[in-house]
Chain A
Amino acid sequence: MNAIYRLEKLKKEYEQRNIVDIDELEIRAGEILALVGPSGAGKSTLLRLLNFLETPTSGKIVYQDQSVNGYLSIDTRRQVTTVFQRPILLRASVRANVAYGLGLRGKPSDGRIDEMLARVGLEKLMNAPAHKLSGGEMQRVALARALVIDPQVLLLDEPTANLDPYNVGLIEEIVREQNRTRQITIVLVTHNVFQAKRLADRVGLMLGGRLVEVKKTVEFFDAPSDPRTTAFVRGEMVY
């Protein structure tokens, strides 16, 4: 698989503190890469960097063979989107929320929206005010809104934290299906190692902004190279 992202000596500092400090990482086109680690490990900041929402303090992000440290066209920027842990919906109907990204691109809100709403099980609520939905429903709206714009890369920042098992199952199923049928590259940040195991092709552990190791999922859990990974997957690290 080709690399869709290449990170080289990437650093992001806030108030002279290293939040992200990654020597090297390749994210392959069409894979699901899960990043696990305790709170404050820099996972969410890394996602914001990958979504071009923040600029690195130093180092390089290469996206589709194009260095993104300088100017990045809006068309390229629009290939990547994020579903955040807390769904931020517009004060509008469910349908209008899902249509939002298409509207930004000047694309018509055709059958794709109905199709996507049906896929996330919200077709009956399409005219309901989005801010009055339950947490799980809101997260499904956020996922539908991200998928309907047909991104090349989908970044998921703890998308199922605090959700009930039904919503967790449904969201995981849709993520897996979209990755397989549309070859969307997915980077999933999660605290939940079991979720990483269920969904990812590769898993990486982040600690203190650094990437401890990245391995194929089976190897990451069964034969990790680093003792910190062994400890983490055993649940020995309390966070």
Chain B
Amino acid sequence: MDELVQGFTQAIQLIFSFDPALYEIIFLSLRVSGTALALSVVIGVPVGAALGLSRLRLRGLVTALLYTGMGLPPVVVGLFVYLMLSRSGPFGGLSWLFSPTAMVVAQVIIAFPLVAGLTMTTVQGVDPALRLQVRSLGATRWQETWAVLREARIGVIAAIVAAFGSIISEVGAVMLVGGNIDGKTRVLTTAIVLNTRTGEFVLALALGVILLMLAFIANVAMLQLQRRAGD
């Protein structure tokens, strides 16, 4: 219990110490997860909407694959990306391994099925009569799709929140493909693992509290958006 209190106190002290090393870790965490989230949204929302609106014969199979992807263990994703980006892998020439780019790739693979799958589900939940109504008012196919997405926006925001939560807190994949290199690929989660292993429990806890705070702030912002969308 004492360690928890100390961890919390140290987290506050660390935040206000403006230690450049700490802020570098925080900013890298946000940059990697933010970029991965943005890419997942840009790809995942249209894919989810298209699947939700289409009557493809293979939709059942695609849905099953997406749902499986939603439960992918991050460490398996990390291993897969590691093999792809290692020197002997098909994308070894890119020299992305042990770089933030590799971490972004791994996190996109984790976040994409969540964004696409939950968007698909929420789009399927929109009243089918809405499509008929907007078409009757003169909507083109694109305008119709946009109208459905707008109606599903609360669910889409929930999908983004879920995806952000899963990648900002994941450690297995970024550890494998980033390597936890000080000043280069160290993020909050990998720093927590390192400090725990070296017995720096209070520091590890403090970083954990900072991570929780970041997740909390991001979720409050998303909830505000969701509330505004619901009015």
Return the CB mask of B133-148 against A: 1 if under 8 Å, else 0. 1111111100100010
- Nearest residue (CB) in A for B127 is A88
Q: Evaluate contact between B138 and A149: CB separation under 8 angstroms.
A: yes
Q: How many inter-chain residue pairs (CB < 8 Å) link A and B?
A: 51
Q: Which of B133-183 contact A (CB under 8 A)?
A: 133-140, 143, 147, 150-151, 153
Interfacial chain A residues near B130, Cβ < 8 Å: 88, 90
User: Quick one: given A88-B127, A90-B147, A129-B231, are A53 and B138 in contact (CB under 8 Å)?
Assistant: no
Bound together, the chains give a CA A105 to CA B129 distance in angstroms of: 21
User: Quick one: given A88-B129, A90-B151, are A104 and B135 in contact (CB under 8 Å)?
Assistant: no
Return the CB mask of B119-139 against A: 1 if under 8 Å, else 0. 000000001011011111111
Q: Evaluate contact between A84 and B133: CB separation under 8 angstroms.
A: yes
Partner of A101, one of B138, B140, B150, B231: B138
Partner of A53, one of B127, B135, B147, B153: B135
Looking at the assembled complex, report how far the CB atom of B146 sits from the nearest CB atom of chain A, in whole angstroms. Answer: 10
Q: Evaluate contact between A74 and B138: CB separation under 8 angstroms.
A: yes
Q: Evaluate contact between B129 and A81: CB separation under 8 angstroms.
A: no
Q: Evaluate contact between B143 and A104: CB separation under 8 angstroms.
A: yes
User: Quick one: given A86-B129, A88-B129, are A81 and B137 in contact (CB under 8 Å)?
Assistant: yes
Q: Evaluate contact between A104 and B137: CB separation under 8 angstroms.
A: yes
Return the CB mask of B178-205 against A: 1 if under 8 Å, else 0. 0000000000000000000000000000
Q: Evaluate contact between B136 and A81: CB separation under 8 angstroms.
A: yes
Interfacial chain A residues near B139, Cβ < 8 Å: 104
Looking at the assembled complex, report how far the CB atom of A47 sits from the nearest CB atom of chain B, in whole angstroms. Answer: 9
Q: Evaluate contact between B138 and A104: CB separation under 8 angstroms.
A: yes
Q: Evaluate contact between A88 and B133: CB separation under 8 angstroms.
A: yes
Bound together, the chains give a CA A145 to CA B138 distance in angstroms of: 12
**A210 located at the interface, meaning its Cβ lies under 8 Å from any Cβ of chain B in the complex:** no
Q: Which of B193-228 contact A (CB under 8 A)?
A: none
Q: Evaluate contact between A84 and B129: CB separation under 8 angstroms.
A: yes
Q: Please tell me the number of chain B residues within 8 Å of chain A, measured between CB atoms.
A: 20
Which interface class (under 10, 10 to 19, 20 to 34, 35 or more) fits A?
20 to 34
Looking at the assembled complex, report how far the CB atom of A114 sits from the nearest CB atom of chain B, in whole angstroms. Answer: 19
User: Quick one: given A90-B150, A104-B143, are A78 and B133 in contact (CB under 8 Å)?
Assistant: no
**A82 located at the interface, meaning its Cβ lies under 8 Å from any Cβ of chain B in the complex:** yes
- Nearest residue (CB) in A for B132 is A53
Partner of B138, one of A48, A84, A105, A129: A105
Q: Which of A77, A81, A91 has most B Cβ within 10 Å?
A: A91
Interfacial chain A residues near B231, Cβ < 8 Å: 129
Interfacial chain B residues near A84, Cβ < 8 Å: 129, 132-133, 136
Partner of A81, one of B127, B138, B140: B138
- Nearest residue (CB) in A for B133 is A88
Q: Which of A88, A101, A105, A129 has most B Cβ within 10 Å?
A: A88
Q: Evaluate contact between B137 and A53: CB separation under 8 angstroms.
A: no
**A122 located at the interface, meaning its Cβ lies under 8 Å from any Cβ of chain B in the complex:** no
Q: Evaluate contact between A53 and B136: CB separation under 8 angstroms.
A: yes
Q: Evaluate contact between A74 and B140: CB separation under 8 angstroms.
A: yes
Q: Evaluate contact between A91 and B151: CB separation under 8 angstroms.
A: yes
Interfacial chain A residues near B229, Cβ < 8 Å: 91
Interfacial chain A residues near B127, Cβ < 8 Å: 88
Looking at the assembled complex, report how far the CB atom of A5 sits from the nearest CB atom of chain B, in whole angstroms. Answer: 16
Partner of B137, one of A48, A91, A101, A129: A101
Return the CB mask of A67-93 against B: 1 if under 8 Å, else 0. 000000010011011101010101100
Bound together, the chains give a CA A51 to CA B138 distance in angstroms of: 10
Q: Which 7 pairs from chain A and chain B are nearest by CB?
A: A78-B138, A88-B133, A101-B137, A82-B136, A88-B129, A104-B138, A88-B130
Given contacts A81-B136, A101-B137, A104-B139, 8 further A-B contacts (CB under 8 A): A51-B136, A81-B137, A84-B129, A84-B136, A88-B130, A129-B231, A149-B137, A155-B136
- Chain B residues proximal to chain A, CB less than 8 Å: 127, 129-130, 132-140, 143, 147, 150-151, 153, 229-231
* Interface pairs (29), CB distance under 8 Å: A48-B132, A51-B136, A53-B136, A74-B138, A81-B136, A81-B137, A81-B138, A82-B133, A84-B132, A84-B136, A86-B129, A88-B130, A90-B147, A90-B151, A91-B150, A91-B151, A91-B153, A91-B229, A100-B134, A101-B137, A101-B138, A104-B134, A104-B139, A104-B140, A145-B137, A146-B137, A149-B137, A149-B138, A155-B136
